[in-house]
């Protein structure tokens, strides 16, 4: 229950809705609980009218008595109607305030959650499956909302109804009331046990729902692979397994819920029968009237829903608490990359970044796998120069470049930007100075233009065109039927790999960044296109720091310095010419690529 | 207006009938559920009737013994009703869950087997919603829905029957408020239906947005778009809230209205009943029974409209699910597939025309063709390399060979058989594919290699891993083959993922091997190892490779030079160099670059 405390601030924020709303709940309850009293009066008056009427039967007063009875009974009817109109009006207002407020809080909470998700670093996303995060942002928030709105509304109303009904009942006949209440402890006990079972079992069900969602999500994202390997049937069977587990857990929950209602209805029904039984005996001795029996029957009926609601409310609260715990897990997560400067207080905007990058004895171990990715890496990249990184698969190239925009933080050593520890810079200024083209292209399901201008919001059409042209994508886009307004499929799948990669490059270039990072970003484009793009980039040499990771000599040979990584450490460094002289890894790489060409040329 | 109403109603019953059809396999159980619900529907209204008898015959007469006898009967009926309700409630849930299981697996299979064209244009979040929450919204209808609705209808009939048998005039007076009730319910039904449709749309939008942004979160962060994306999220979240607020309004209006109508009936009973009592027609017991009936009578109506609510949301969900099931964009499989006795690996493209827009008219020249009149033959065991600028249509050729898309004109033949005449599974079983976008599933390295195919044994995997020299990297992982790669293989580098996808292709041991730019992002050292492995692998297999680097295609028996969807040149490396065309230009470009270094 502790987890729900976080919500208090929201109650306070919407107090202008909650306070009148709960007052309306009270008013509505008071109106509806008054109805049975009027009914009792009406019923008790009937024998009196009958007696009076019989007494005056045949006399001239007969029609007068009849009219009086008619009017009195009509008045009772009218009062009941007015009471229920009042109850209805306030119940309308109650829903329009409390439930509406719960939707407002849901809105705030979800915004807050999404905002938090945006601040969390990469490692958080490694630990949480996408489907799971989405479940939290949708159904967990919905559970919490039900607690905020309906649960509180029902509780207020139930408490008022029960208190008033019991007071009146005790006032009429304590004995009858005690008897009527005999089934209530059983009701309370069964509510408690049922609610707990429902809670546990629905948790299990919820967990399975998450698994099911994740399964679908993954299978559909990898549909190409599934299809290519004709694994659809086995995947469908695996999905059957998940569905069947879901069915099993649903039925476990259904068992409890199915028992709950009959038990409840029977116990309430027992109350009614007891009223007739005990009330009947009492009426025979004249202790109460028959009208009282009718009144009690209505009270029991009126109390039915509030007591039932209490059962549901307990479940709602428990569910909400569990969901809130899951939400708090996200809300309390600290980004492992601290966005605000630790030491010193640099308050610089992006233009202040000049672009010098210095790795000083940097080491890094992957937190999840424990694999050491970098070991004592030192390199200085003066502003405006180009660094190229080559090396085998898994040698740590990507890890190294991911440190520059602080997707990862160094474990050992220091990474400096313009001679200052990167952790002293505000994260925002560092990132806004960087144009990053990741290895895996990710485009949003939006238009080509919006995907490119994603890099710079205030970009105008000319900027988008310029960036597209610099990334050698303009010609392709102009061939699309809708040009820049062409929609890209969810993962940009209607574009070819090379087109996606170039869109991703354009997105980085439109930022006119101080530091440009290309992580194997030209792998899917052909040599011709690569040359064009590199040619465009050269125009910015001296003004922009470029870090380029590639396997192709052609892409790295013009760099001011080239480093060769192997198992997380630098094994060679220098310019292309120097490295070729060194007869090491780079030279052999170069030699091999050159030799292949020569051999073929001589054929 | 009335026309539209009729149309809506027509749609409802058709949809409903279709939903109910999923219960057919369980009709025996449904019948049992009906029996229990009917009996319970009779026992419920019986109680006020017995209470009336108790009051009029025992209490008013002062017969204490008779009172106790009646009370025992009442308790027995209560217990029976409770037991029957339990059996009924569980049974309906059981039936519903069976039907939901059937529907869910059906929808999933349907989605999964559709062609890639379908996946290209739809956000995955939307499809997930179909399989999960849309199906879920039907569960109420399929479980409680139908049986409970009939149960409530019969409860109404039984109550009416008891009322009329007690006093037909008073019964008429009580029922006189029915039209208001029905009108209110229908008004509500119409409003809520529209509101729910909007709500569900907003929920789907919210899901899509979250799905995409959680997946692409690092891009959002790298480009400092947090503020802007939060603003967009705020907008979608607000639309979602507005849609819900509208439904709250209708609910807030509806519930009190039902209550007021019920109370009007109570007032009428007291007034008319009181007057009749004076004339001696109505006893106190009858009056009290009617007070209970007036309440009981509206409970089933309320339940029915409640069922309408779930029905509403179910209808919206059902419309979308059936919409999905009805538009079958899956590749249609031929009913009597051709026999493919011996898989040799002969591939032929015969005048193939293709556009991603399926509506493209083959006769129209201006159309958006990705491939125009492409023809080539690859003999068994031979290798074909496809080169060309990006966007030339290279990947498309592979997609078409695997029949991910249907072509508009021409034909594709494997061992002389048109691929449209072959079962998809057979076709794809014999083609090994390595994609440029390596996709890994959550699970271990082994799972990703075998794709959980139990027929692939450990020895096959190790042999293949040795062949492409992937063993050292896998053994370096803390848990080797049992290393969990996490969602989409995020813990592995791109090259490592590539190696796993190579392994995947190798262990499946296909007759035809297809490589889509796969070697381009593996470094030269690794690539050399793979190159050797591929050479051994390719011997005896037909292969089609797309690579940007000429060195990887020079060994090919045949090279296809693609340009804007057209085959511009073809031949061996030497022939193409000699012919002084596009290939030679591409080649010299790379050569000169190497020389300049």
What span, in angstroms and rounded, lies between the C-alpha atoms of B443 and B449? Answer: 10
Task: Select from A266, A269, A394 the Cβ nearest to the Cβ of B496.
Answer: A394
Token readout for A597 is: 């060409």
What is the rounded distance in angstroms from the CA atom of residue B201 to the CA atom of residue B244? 11
Angle CA B336–B340–B343, to nearest 5: 160
Residues B399 and B270 placed together within one structural domain of the fold: no
Stretch 43-62 of chain A: residues touching chain B, C-beta under 8 Å: 43, 45-47, 49-50, 53
- The total domain count for chain B is 2
- Per CB-CB distance under 8 Å, the chain B contacts of A600 are 550-551, 554, 573
pLDDT at position A362 is 93
For an interface test with B, which of A303, A394, A598 has the most B Cβ atoms less than 10 Å from its Cβ? A394
A255 touches chain B (CB under 8 A): yes
B254 and B151 assigned to the same domain: yes
Domain with CATH 3.40.50.300 in chain A: 345-433+514-603, 442-512
- Which residues are CB-contacts of B572 (< 8 A; sequence separation ≥ 6)? B556, B557, B558, B559
Task: Give the orientation angle of helix A100-119 with respect to helix A290-331, to 10 degrees.
Answer: 10
Residue B425, both tokens: 């599974």
For residue A519, the cross-strand partners are A549
**From 3.40.50.150, 1.20.1560.10, 2.60.120.10, 2.60.120.700, which CATH number describes the A2-331 domain?**
1.20.1560.10
**Looking at this predicted complex, what is its ipTM?**
0.81
Minimal Cα–Cα distance from A46 to chain B, Å?
A: 6
CB B112 within 8 A of CB A226: yes
Give the whole-angstrom CA distance, residue B189 versus residue B169. Answer: 31
Tell me how many residue pairs between chain A and chain B have CB atoms under 8 A apart. Answer: 514
Instruction: Verify that B275 and B353 share a domain, yes or no.
Output: no
Task: Give the one of B64, B81, B554 whose C-beta lies nearest to A600's C-beta.
Answer: B554
- Total H helices, total E strands in chain B: 22, 10
- Interval A446-480: pLDDT, tens: 888 988 988 888 888 899 999 999 899 888 888 88
From the list B85, B121, B216, the residue facing A489 with the nearest CB is B121
Question: B414 and B554 in one domain?
Answer: yes
SS3 A567: coil
DSSP letter at A439 equals S
> A402 touching B, CB under 8 A?
no
Contact A374, A362 (CB under 8 A): yes
Best mutation target, A277, A327, A432, to test chain B (most B CBs within 10 A):
A277
Chain A residues in contact with B504 by the CB 8 A cut-off are 229
Q: Are A281 and B57 in contact (CB under 8 A)?
A: no
In the predicted model, is pLDDT for residue A82 greater than 60?
Answer: yes
Q: Are residues B290 and B368 in the same domain?
A: no
> What pLDDT does residue B481 have?
86
pLDDT in tens, chain B (597 residues): 344 443 444 446 788 888 888 888 998 998 999 899 899 889 988 988 998 888 888 888 878 888 888 889 989 998 998 899 899 889 988 998 999 999 999 989 888 878 777 777 777 778 888 888 888 888 877 876 677 788 888 888 999 999 999 889 899 988 888 888 878 877 887 788 788 888 888 988 898 888 888 888 888 888 888 888 899 999 999 999 999 999 889 888 888 888 888 888 888 888 888 888 877 778 888 888 888 888 777 778 767 776 766 776 678 788 888 888 887 666 777 778 888 888 888 999 999 998 877 666 666 656 678 888 999 999 998 889 888 766 678 888 988 998 888 888 899 999 999 998 988 888 888 888 877 667 777 778 888 888 878 888 888 888 888 877 778 878 888 888 888 876 555 567 666 777 787 788 888 888 898 887 554 445 555 666 666 666 666 667 888 988 655 556 777 889 988 887 888 889 888 888 888 777 776 666 544 443 333
Residue B351: which H helix or E strand, with range?
Answer: strand B347-354
Q: Note whether B318 and B385 are same-domain residues.
A: no
- A562 contacts in chain B (CB < 8 Å): none
B211 contacts in chain A (CB < 8 Å)? 130, 134, 217
Residue B500 belongs to some domain of the structure = no
Contact (CB<8Å) B211/A442? no
Does B224 sit within 8 Å of A432, measured CB to CB? yes
Q: How far apart are CA A572 and CA A589, in angstroms?
A: 12
Interface mutation target, options B73, B116, B284, chain A, most CBs of A under 10 Å: B284
Q: What is the pTM of this model?
A: 0.70
Residue B542, min C-alpha distance to chain A (Å):
16
Alpha helices of A56-99 — where are they, by DSSP H?
A: 62-94
Residue B311 shares a structural domain with residue B354: no
User: What pLDDT does A1 receive?
Assistant: 61
* Residue B73 in domain: yes
Q: Do residue A110 and residue B237 have CB atoms under 8 angstroms apart?
A: yes
CATH number of the domain that residue B587 is part of: 3.40.50.300
Which tokens belong to A150? 């309906």
Q: List the alpha helices (DSSP H) in A372-526.
A: 397-402, 427-432, 448-453, 461-470, 474-479, 497-509
Q: How far is B429 from chain A (nearest CA, A)?
A: 6
Please list every residue in chain A whose beta carbon sits closer than 8 Å to the beta carbon of residue B221. Answer: 118, 407, 431
In a domain, B417, yes or no: yes
**Which DSSP state fits A97?**
I
- Rounded to whole angstroms, the Cα distance separating B491 from A126 reads 8
Chain B neighbors of A103, CB-CB under 8 A: 241, 244-245, 248
Could you give the count of Cα atoms lying within 13 Å of B433 in the half-sphere of its Cβ?
27
Neighbouring residues of A207: CB distance < 8 A, sequence distance ≥ 6 = none
* Distance (Å, whole) CA B350 – CA B475: 46
B150 and B214 in a single domain? The answer is yes
Q: Is B325 exposed, middle or buried (0-12, 13-18, 19+ CB in 10 A)?
A: middle
Residue B494's pLDDT is: 65
Chain B closest CA to A602's CA: distance in Å?
A: 11
Is a pLDDT exceeding 70 seen at residue A484?
A: yes
- DSSP letters along A182-238, please? THHHHHHHHHHHHHHHHHHHHHHHHHHHHHHHHHHHHHHHTHHHHHHTT-HHHHHHH
Residue count (chain A): 603
Mean pLDDT value of segment A165-186:
87
Tell me if B498 is assigned to some domain.
Answer: no
Q: What pLDDT is recorded for position B364?
A: 63
Beta-carbon separation of A368 and B504 below 8 A: no
Domain annotation covers residue B463 = no
The C-alpha atoms of residue B436 and residue B441 are separated, in whole angstroms, by 16
- Does A454 touch chain B if contact means CB atoms closer than 8 Å? yes
Report strand pairing: A357-365 vs B566-571: unpaired
Query: Residue A267: closest CA among chain B residues belongs to which residue?
Result: B78
Could you tell me if residue B482 is inside a domain?
no
Task: Indicate the residue among B281, B302, B326 that finishes a domain.
Answer: B326
Q: Where in chain A is the domain with CATH 1.20.1560.10?
A: 2-331
Q: How far apart are CA A568 and CA A30, in angstroms?
A: 75
Question: Hunting for tokens 């209530």 — which residue is that?
Answer: A184
In a domain, B365, yes or no: yes
- A136 CB-near residues (< 8 Å, 6+ apart): A113, A323, A326, A327, A330
Asked if the A345-433+514-603 domain carries CATH number 3.30.360.10, the reply is no
Which among B58, B67, B270 is the top mutation candidate for probing chain A, defined by the most A β-carbons within 10 Å of its own β-carbon?
Answer: B270
Of A240, A444, A594, the CB nearest to B105: A240
Alpha-carbon distance values, A603 to B561, B585, B591 (Å): 20, 17, 14
CA–CA dist A440, A419 (Å, integer):
30
Asked whether residue A603 carries a pLDDT value surpassing 50, the answer given is: no
Domain of B245 in residue numbering reads as 21-326
Long-range residue pairs from B57-61, CB within 8 A, at least 24 positions apart, any chain: B57/B285, B58/A280, B59/A276, B59/A280, B59/A283, B59/A284, B59/A290, B59/A293, B59/B285, B60/A290, B60/B283, B60/B284, B60/B285
Instruction: Write the CA distances from B46 to A270, A481, B73, B162, integer angstroms.
Output: 14, 72, 11, 8
The pLDDT of residue B595 is: 36
Joined together, the tokens standing for residue A89 give 């009006």
Q: Which residue of B has its CA nearest to A259?
A: B86
DSSP per-residue letters across B574-591: HHHHHHTSHHHHHHHHHH
User: What does the alpha-carbon distance between residue A369 and residue A367 come to, in Å, rounded to a whole number?
Assistant: 6
Pick A442's closest partner by Cβ from B216, B234, B429: B216
**CA proximity to B479, closest of B526, B518, B435, B444:** B444
- Sorted by sequence, the CB contacts under 8 Å of residue B415 that are 6+ apart come out as B340, B342, B343, B344, B345, B346
B193 and B250 part of one domain: yes
Rounded distance between C-alpha atoms, residue A396 and residue A567, angstroms: 7
Tell me how far the alpha carbon of residue A224 is from its chain's centroid. 28
Task: Please tell me which residue, A409 or A232, carries the higher pLDDT value.
Answer: A409
Subunit contact A133:B210, Cβ cutoff 8 A: yes
Q: In a 10 Å sphere around its CB, with 0-12 CB exposed, 13-18 middle and 19+ buried, how is residue B438 labelled?
A: buried
**Do B249 and B153 fall into the same domain?**
yes
Distance from CA of A211 to the nearest CA of B (A): 11
| Contacts B208 to A, Cβ<8 Å | 445
Instruction: Identify the CATH number of the domain in which residue B180 sits.
Output: 1.20.1560.10
**What CA–CA distance (Å, rounded) separates B373 from B407?**
11
What's B376's DSSP letter?
E
The CATH number of domain A442-512, selected from 3.20.20.70, 3.40.640.10, 3.40.50.300, 3.40.50.1370 = 3.40.50.300
3-state secondary structure of A312: helix
Interchain CB contact of A499 with B (< 8 Å): yes
Nearest chain B residue (CA) to A403: B222
Q: Which residues of B touch A333 (CB under 8 A)?
A: none
Shared domain for B134 and B271, answered yes or no, is yes
B578 found inside a domain: yes
Judged by CB atoms closer than 8 Å, whether chains meet at A69 and B278 is answered as yes
Q: Which of B124, B224, B277 sits opposite A490 (nearest CB)?
A: B124
The token pair at B491 is: 């813990």
Chain B CB contacts of A280 below 8 Å? 54-55, 58-59, 67
Determine which of B523, B584, B595 to mutate to test the interface with A (most A C-beta atoms within 10 Å): B523
Residues B354 and B212 in one domain: no
Pick the last residue of a domain from B277, B296, B326: B326
Which H or E element spans position B558?
Answer: strand B558-563
Q: Which two tokens stand for residue B558?
A: 């045949």
Q: Which of B301, B326, B351 is the last residue of a domain?
A: B326
Q: Show Cβ contacts of residue B272 under 8 Å, excluding neighbours closer than 6 positions.
A: B169, B170, B173
Residue B103: closest CA among B145, B131, B141, B128? B131
């Amino acid at each position: 229950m502790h987890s729900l405390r976080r919500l208090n601030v929201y109650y306070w924020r919407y107090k202008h809705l909650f306070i009148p709303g709960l007052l309306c709940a009270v008013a509505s309850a008071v109106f509806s609980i008054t109805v049975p009293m009027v009914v009792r009066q009406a019923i008790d008056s009937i024998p009196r009218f009958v007696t009076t009427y019989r007494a005056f039967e045949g006399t001239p007063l007969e029609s007068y008595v009849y009219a009086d009875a008619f009017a009195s009974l009509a008045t009772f009817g009218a009062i009941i109607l007015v009471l229920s109109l009042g109850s209805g009006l306030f119940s309308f207002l109650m829903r329009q305030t409390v439930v509406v407020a719960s939707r407002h809080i849901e809105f705030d909470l979800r915004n807050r959650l999404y905002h938090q998700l945006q601040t969390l670093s990469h490692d958080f996303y490694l630990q949480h499956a996408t489907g799971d995060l989405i479940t939290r942002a949708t159904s967990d928030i919905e559970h919490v909302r039900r607690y905020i709105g309906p649960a509180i509304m029902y509780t207020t109303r139930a408490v008022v109804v029960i208190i008033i009904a019991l007071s009146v009942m005790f006032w009429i006949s304590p004995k009858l009331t005690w008897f009527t209440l005999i089934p209530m402890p059983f009701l309370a006990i069964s509510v408690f046990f049922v609610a707990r079972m429902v809670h546990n079992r629905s948790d299990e069900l919820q967990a399975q729902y998450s698994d099911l969602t994740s399964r679908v999500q993954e299978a559909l994202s990898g549909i190409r692979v599934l299809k290519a390997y004709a694994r659809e049937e086995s995947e469908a069977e695996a999905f059957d397994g998940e569905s069947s587990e879901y069915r099993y857990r649903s039925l476990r929950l259904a068992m409890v819920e199915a028992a709950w209602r009959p038990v409840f209805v029977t116990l309430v029904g027992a109350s009614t029968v007891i009223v007739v039984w005990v009330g009947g005996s009492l009426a025979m001795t004249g202790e109460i009237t028959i009208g009282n029996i009718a009144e009690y029957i209505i009270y029991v009926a009126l109390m039915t829903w509030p007591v039932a609601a209490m059962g549901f409310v307990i479940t709602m609260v428990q569910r909400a608490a569990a969901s809130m715990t899951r939400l708090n897990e996200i809300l309390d997560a600290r980004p492992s990359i601290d966005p605000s400067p630790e030491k010193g207080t640099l308050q610089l905007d992006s233009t202040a970044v000049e672009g010098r990058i210095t790795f000083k004895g940097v080491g890094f171990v992957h937190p999840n796998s424990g694999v050491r990715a970098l070991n004592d890496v030192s390199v200085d990249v003066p502003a405006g120069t180009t660094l190229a990184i080559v090396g085998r698969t898994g040698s740590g190239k990507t890890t190294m470049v991911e440190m520059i925009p602080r997707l990862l933080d160094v474990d050992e050593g220091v990474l400096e930007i313009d001679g200052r520890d990167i952790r002293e810079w505000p994260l925002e200024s560092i990132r806004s100075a960087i144009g990053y083209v990741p290895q895996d292209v990710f485009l949003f399901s939006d238009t080509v233009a919006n995907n490119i201008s994603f890099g710079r919001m205030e970009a105008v059409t000319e900027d988008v065109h310029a960036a597209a042209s610099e990334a050698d994508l303009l010609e392709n886009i102009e061939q699309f039927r809708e040009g820049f307004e062409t929609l890209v499929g969810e993962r940009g799948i209607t574009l070819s790999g090379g087109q996606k990669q170039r869109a991703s490059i354009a997105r980085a270039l439109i930022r006119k960044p101080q530091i440009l990072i290309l992580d194997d970003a030209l792998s899917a484009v052909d040599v011709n296109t690569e040359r064009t793009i590199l040619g465009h980039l050269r125009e910015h040499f001296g003004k922009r720091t470029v870090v380029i990771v590639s396997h192709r000599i052609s892409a790295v040979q013009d760099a001011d310095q080239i480093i060769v990584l192997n198992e997380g450490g630098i094994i060679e460094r220098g310019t292309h010419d120097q490295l070729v002289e060194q007869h090491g890894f780079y030279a052999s790489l170069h030699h091999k690529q050159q030799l292949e060409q020569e051999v073929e040329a001589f054929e | 207006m009335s026309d539209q109403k009729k149309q809506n109603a027509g749609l409802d019953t058709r949809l409903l009938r279709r939903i109910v059809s999923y219960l057919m396999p369980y009709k025996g159980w449904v019948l049992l559920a009906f029996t229990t619900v009917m009996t319970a529907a009779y026992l419920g209204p019986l109680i006020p009737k017995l209470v009336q008898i108790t009051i009029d015959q025992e209490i008013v007469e002062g017969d204490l013994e008779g009172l106790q006898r009646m009370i025992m009967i009442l308790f027995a009926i209560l217990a029976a009703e409770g037991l029957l309700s339990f059996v009924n409630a569980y049974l309906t849930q059981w039936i519903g869950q069976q039907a939901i299981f059937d529907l869910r697996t059906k929808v999933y299979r349907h989605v999964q087997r559709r062609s890639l064209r379908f996946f290209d244009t739809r956000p995955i979040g939307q499809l997930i919603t179909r399989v999960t929450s849309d199906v879920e919204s039907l569960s109420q209808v399929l479980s409680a829905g139908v049986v409970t609705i009939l149960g409530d209808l019969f409860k109404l009939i039984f109550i009416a029957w008891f009322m009329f048998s007690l006093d037909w005039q008073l019964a008429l007076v009580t029922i006189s408020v029915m039209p208001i009730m029905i009108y209110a319910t229908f008004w509500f039904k119409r409003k809520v239906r529209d509101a729910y449709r909007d709500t569900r749309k907003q929920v789907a939008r919210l899901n899509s947005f979250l799905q995409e942004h959680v997946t692409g979160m690092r891009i959002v962060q790298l480009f400092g778009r947090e503020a802007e994306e939060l603003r967009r999220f705020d907008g979608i979240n607000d639309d979602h809230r507005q849609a819900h607020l509208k439904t709250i309004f209708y609910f807030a209006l509806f519930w009190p209205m039902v209550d007021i109508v019920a109370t009007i009936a109570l007032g009428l009973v007291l007034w008319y009943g009181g007057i009749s009592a004076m004339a001696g027609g109505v006893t106190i017991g009858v009056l009290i029974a009617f007070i209970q009936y007036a309440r009981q009578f509206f409970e089933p109506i309320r339940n029915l409209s409640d069922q309408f609510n779930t029905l509403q949301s179910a209808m919206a969900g059902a419309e979308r699910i059936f919409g999905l099931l009805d538009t079958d964009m899956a590749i249609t499989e031929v009913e009597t597939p051709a026999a493919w006795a011996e898989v040799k690996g002969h591939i032929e493209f015969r005048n193939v025309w293709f556009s991603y827009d399926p509506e493209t008219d083959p006769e129209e020249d201006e159309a958006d063709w990705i491939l125009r009149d492409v023809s080539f033959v690859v003999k068994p065991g031979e290798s074909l390399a496809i080169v060309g600028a990006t966007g030339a249509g290279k990947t498309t050729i592979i997609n078409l060979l695997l029949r991910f898309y249907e072509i508009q004109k021409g034909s594709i033949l494997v061992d002389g058989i048109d691929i449209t005449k072959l079962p998809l599974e057979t076709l794809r079983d014999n083609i090994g594919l390595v994609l440029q976008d390596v996709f890994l599933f959550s699970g271990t390295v082994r799972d990703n290699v075998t794709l959980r195919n139990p027929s692939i044994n450990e020895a096959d995997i190790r042999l293949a891993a040795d062949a492409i020299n992937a063993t050292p990297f896998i053994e370096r992982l803390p848990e080797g083959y049992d290393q969990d790669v996490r969602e989409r293989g995020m813990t592995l580098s791109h090259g490592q993922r590539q190696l796993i996808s190579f392994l995947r292709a190798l262990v499946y041991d296909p007759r035809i091997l297809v490589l889509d730019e796969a070697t381009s992002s593996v470094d030269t050292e690794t690539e050399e190892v793979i190159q050797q492995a591929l050479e051994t692998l390719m011997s005896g297999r037909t292969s089609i490779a797309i690579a940007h680097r000429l060195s990887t295609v020079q060994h090919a028996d045949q090279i296809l030079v693609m340009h804007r969807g057209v085959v511009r040149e073809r031949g061996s490396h030497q022939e193409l160099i000699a012919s002084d065309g596009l290939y030679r230009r591409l080649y010299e470009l790379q050569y000169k670059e190497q020389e300049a270094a």
